[in-house]
Every structure is written in C-alpha cells, then in structure tokens.
C-alpha cells in the first residue's frame, strides 16, 4: 500500500476509477454524454471534474466560449483556493501561518473566509471537527505511510491544538501559541466545491456537477427532469455501491477509513483523527456520507460525524441547527440513515453487505 500509493501512475488510476464510476451514476439514465461540457484537472491533491450543462432551459445549445470561459474560471478558482489553504505547499498561506510565527497580517479573503467557516463548524461540532490539528496530521504522516508515532509525542502535540490558540482579529490571524498549526484538509475541498458551484451559476450555466475527490456538488435542473443520482461506495469495493442519493441540489461529502491509511502490525491507521485522543478515530464506522446545502458544511460534517460515531452523530443531528443528512456505515455491517433520508425517496439502499437498520433499531434512539 505504502509504495503503491506513492507511485504517480497508481495514484492516477486510484483517483480516476472511482470518479468515472461515480459520474456514470451521477448522470442518471436518460442523460447523454453530449449534454455536458467536461473539464478535468488535478489540484488539492485529487482529481477534479467540472461537468457543465450545455443546453439552456429551451434545449438550445449554449455558446462554446461561455462554457470554456466558465470552466477556465472554475479551474482558476480552485488553484487560488489551493494556494490559500495548502499546508504542504511552501507557497501556500496556511504553510506560512504554520511556521513558528505569532501573527499573519492581511491573509487573503479566501483564507479568512475558510478559517471563519472552519472555526464556526468546529464550535458547532463540539470540536469533533478541529482545524487546528496541523501538527498532529504531520506527526502521523498517514499519506506518507506512518509510522505510528510514540504516545508521548502525540500527547505533546495535542497540547498545541485547540480553537483557543488562533484568533481572527479583523484582517489578522493571531496565534497565542506559535506552535499551533492549521490543517484545512477536512473542509478545503468542500469549501472549493461551494465556491465553484456559485461561480458556475453566476456565469449562467443552467445545471451541472462538480467533483473534488469525495466531494460532489450538483445544481440546476437537468433537461431530462431527473434528479442527480449519486452512488455511495462500498468501503471495501471501489466498484460497488451500498446505495444512491437522489439530489436536486447541494453537496455530498464522504469520509472513510479506506481513503488514506497505512497498516502497521496488521492494524489500520487512517487519516481521520480524534482530536481528544490524538489517534485515528475508533468510532465503529467505516464511512459517513453527508449531504448539506453548503459544501464546506458537508465536508466538515462528514469528518466530524466520522469522529462522533453513530450514537453521538444521531444526537448531534437531532440537536444541531445545521442543515444536513447522513448515511453511516458501521464496522459491524450496518447502514444507518438520518431521518430526512428515511421514506423520503432521497436515498435508495442497494447492498447485501450492509444491513439497513429500521429506525427503531438504530443505536441512540
Ligand atoms: P479527505 O481526505 O477526502 O479530505 P476528510 O474530508 O474526511 O477526507 O478529511 C480528512 C482530512 O482532514 C485529514 O487528511 C486531515 O488533513 C484532516 N483531519 C483529520 N482529522 C480531522 C478532524 N478531526 N477535524 C478536522 N480535520 C481533520
Ligand atoms: Mg471532510
């Protein structure tokens, strides 16, 4: 896994295959290839695809230069967001903030807005989503293949995490602990998906779809009148789905233990960290797919719900004012839905591997 995952060719294959699969589902039955103007590129550590509807409400083709221009602007938007939010690119703003500094004056509007959104969602999730885990993410080095860090190093790193260590002060980011590092990896792609969709709608694109890794956004009405059909993949089989979400709009983000991980002594260490223990979250889940009308929210919540697990996640769903729905897949083979997906036609189960629990059977009820 370690060596293969590092090889660019395999990375390309691993990223493209699930993507194509997802798209073939996302098109719906009657939609033809010709109705979309597609652009794909690599950014934010993943393959990104923009699918722009090519016909207007009367079925007339849109001008090619409008589609080209909107796609190009979308691509540029993603590069700008990547530059602002990257913790690994030395040219990135978060990389600069993560140096041993006390203050960053005049961060870009993009960074300020992403940090404000991330902090808000962190507070609302009681810290399950924590954008200040930068040093811990680096210590674990999951994408680089580990190894498992010593326990005392984990505890020492946790001392420097927490929302209280970084403040937004007007147009300045102030660190009260110079060692605190941001990592917006759990929200960046959803944040970018949100911006992209807004841009495409503003550019006059009537309907379409954007996909950034495990984050998908859809908008507008397709000419065939059908909803967008999004497959939720089986954690153990990239080519099969456990069910479908039927969407008229909004964003779906998936967080799973199969996305990025390494193995040591037969145990899997994945990339979603529990901010309390400092270890990969062991909440009894394989994955969470989260829908929300807001892209950053869908992304941050898929991560947060994964950390919370089913019981805390469902309690959070009941009490939160955030608008979202979720599909939980547990490591003992159950599929659990939030209320808005039960009996509403928004979700269709399609799996033998995961047993859809009756709402009465769901833990925490
Ligand atoms: P993806 O890798 O597809 O973006 P997620 O959206 O679930 O998956 O985000 C996981 C990433 O977020 C990790 O790779 C890490 O950079 C960061 N992260 C890990 N744990 C947390 C957490 N508890 N809160 C916020 N961000 C986290
Ligand atoms: Mg996420």
Residue of 18, 82, 272 best suited for mutating to test ligand 1, as the one with most atoms within 8 Å of CB: 272
Mean pLDDT of the 295-320 span: 98
Q: Report the C-alpha gap between 118 and 271 in whole angstroms.
A: 18
Mean pLDDT of the chain: 90
Q: Report the C-alpha gap between 316 and 310 in whole angstroms.
A: 10
Q: Give the tens place of pLDDT for each residue, 115-153.
A: 999 999 999 999 999 999 999 999 999 999 999 999 999
The sign one gets for the Cα dihedral 146, 84, 274, 217 is negative
pLDDT of residue 364: 56
Q: Which ligand 1 atom is at minimum distance from the Cα of 215?
A: 3
The answer, yes or no, to whether residue 21 has pLDDT greater than 90, is no
Mean pLDDT of the 286-299 span: 98
Q: Report the C-alpha gap between 359 and 343 in whole angstroms.
A: 11
251 Rama sector, left if φ>0, alpha if ψ -120 to 50, beta otherwise? beta
User: Strand 228-234 relative to strand 285-292: parallel, antiparallel, unpaired?
Assistant: unpaired
The answer, yes or no, to whether residue 218 has pLDDT greater than 60, is yes
Instruction: Please enumerate in sequence order all residues whose Cβ is within 8 A of that of 13, keeping only pairs 6 or more positions apart, or say none.
Output: none
Q: Which ligand 1 atom is at minimum distance from the Cα of 306?
A: 7
The sign one gets for the Cα dihedral 174, 176, 179, 183 is negative
State yes or no: cis peptide before 40, omega within 30 of 0. Answer: no
Residues of the chain above pLDDT 70, percent: 89
pLDDT of residue 224: 87
Q: Ligand 1, atom 1: nearest CA belongs to which residue?
A: 186
Q: Report the C-alpha gap between 263 and 269 in whole angstroms.
A: 6
* Terminal-residue alpha carbon distance, the chain: 39
> Which of 71, 81, 93 lies closest to 46, judged by CA?
81
Mean pLDDT of the 87-93 span: 94
Ligand 1: which residues within 6 Å by Cβ?
129-131, 133, 137, 183, 185-186, 189, 213-214, 255, 259-260, 271-273, 275, 299, 302-303, 307
β strands within the chain, DSSP E:
36-43, 46-53, 103-105, 166-169, 172-175, 207-212, 215-220, 228-234, 237-247, 250-256, 261-264, 267-270, 285-292, 325-330, 334-337, 347-349, 355-356
Q: Give the tens place of pLDDT for each residue, 69-86.
A: 999 999 999 999 999 999
pLDDT of residue 365: 56
């Amino acid at each position: 896994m370690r060596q293969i995952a590092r090889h660019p060719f395999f990375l390309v294959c691993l990223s493209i295959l699930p993507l194509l699969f997802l798209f073939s589902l996302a098109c719906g039955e009657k939609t033809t290839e010709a109705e979309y103007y597609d652009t794909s590129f690599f950014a934010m550590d993943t393959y990104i695809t923009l699918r722009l509807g090519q016909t207007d409400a009367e079925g007339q083709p849109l001008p090619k230069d409008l589609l080209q221009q909107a796609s190009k602007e979308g691509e540029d938007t993603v590069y700008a967001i990547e530059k602002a939010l990257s913790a690994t690119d030395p040219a990135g703003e978060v990389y600069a903030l993560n140096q041993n500094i006390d203050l960053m004056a005049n961060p870009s509007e993009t960074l300020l807005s992403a940090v404000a959104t991330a902090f808000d969602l962190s507070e609302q999730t009681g810290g399950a989503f924590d954008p200040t885990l930068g040093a811990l993410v680096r210590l674990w080095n999951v994408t680089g293949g580990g190894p498992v860090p010593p326990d005392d190093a984990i505890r020492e790193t946790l001392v420097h995490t927490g929302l209280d260590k970084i403040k937004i002060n007007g147009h300045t980011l102030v660190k009260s602990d110079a060692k605190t590092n941001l990592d917006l990896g759990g929200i960046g792609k959803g944040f970018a998906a949100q911006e992209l969709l807004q841009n495409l709608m503003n550019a006059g694109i009537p309907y379409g779809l954007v996909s950034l890794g495990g984050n998908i956004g859809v908008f507008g009405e397709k000419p065939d009148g059908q909803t967008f059909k999004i497959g939720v993949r089986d954690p153990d089989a990239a080519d099969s789905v456990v069910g479908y979400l039927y969407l008229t709009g909004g964003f779906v983000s998936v967080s799973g233990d199969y996305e990025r991980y390494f193995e040591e002594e037969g145990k899997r260490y994945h990339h979603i960290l529990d901010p309390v223990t400092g270890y990969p979250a062991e909440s009894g889940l394989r994955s969470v797919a989260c829908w929300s009308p807001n892209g950053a929210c869908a992304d941050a919540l898929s991560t947060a719900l994964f950390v919370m697990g089913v019981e805390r996640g469902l309690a959070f769903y009941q009490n939160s004012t955030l608008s979202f729905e979720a599909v939980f897949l547990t490591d003992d083979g159950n599929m659990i839905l939030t209320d808005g997906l039960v009996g509403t036609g928004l979700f269709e189960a399609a799996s033998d591997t995961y047993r859809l629990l009756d709402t009465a059977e769901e833990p925490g009820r």
